[in-house]
Structure 1
């Protein structure tokens, strides 16, 4: 199983490094390249450089909040079941 974890880690590292390099090139380098250059055909409009990470951030925060809420509800249900009932 350890080899599978290493492979997954290497793939995640490769993916995140590639994504970081692509985004960095898109945001920092392409504004200095002529607008009719072929490089611009590989990138979306620059407005999306703010919109896409913003949507991803909202989705991530929403997921974390829903997860924390779910854990809190499950925890309170487990505590309620374990308490002895008094008459």
Structure 2
């Protein structure tokens, strides 16, 4: 059963995810249609980061997953050699 603290953490993560989704959607879909002289452009990074940040996050995530799988396989094969 989830405790109250776990639920607060879960809802916090959901809220953070929704906030990031709304920011990214506005940045990529809505902002190009707004004139660049408008003040709202000051709240967003340059659009090149819209590609760089998710791409680098994906590469980093795949690297971490690959390292985890590799170390797990290495430990497993070392255990089999000892037995």
Q: TM-score, normalized by length of structure 1?
A: 0.86
Aligned pairs (5 A) from 1:1-87: 2-81=3-82, 83=83
Q: Which has the higher contact order (CA 8 A, sep 6+)?
A: 2
Q: Please, what is the CA RMSD of the aligned residues?
A: 1.2
Structure 1 unmatched runs, 5+: none
Larger radius of gyration: 1
TM norm structure 2: 0.90
How many residues of Structure 1 are paired with residues of Structure 2 in the alignment? 82
| Aligned structure 1 segments of 4 or more residues deviating by more than 6 angstroms | none
Structure 1 77/2 Cα, relative in aligned 2: closer, same or farther at 3 Å?
A: farther
Structure 2 gap segments, 5+ residues each: none
What are the Cα deviations for residues 25-55 of structure 1, in whole angstroms up to 9, with x where unaligned?
Answer: 0000000000010000000111111111111
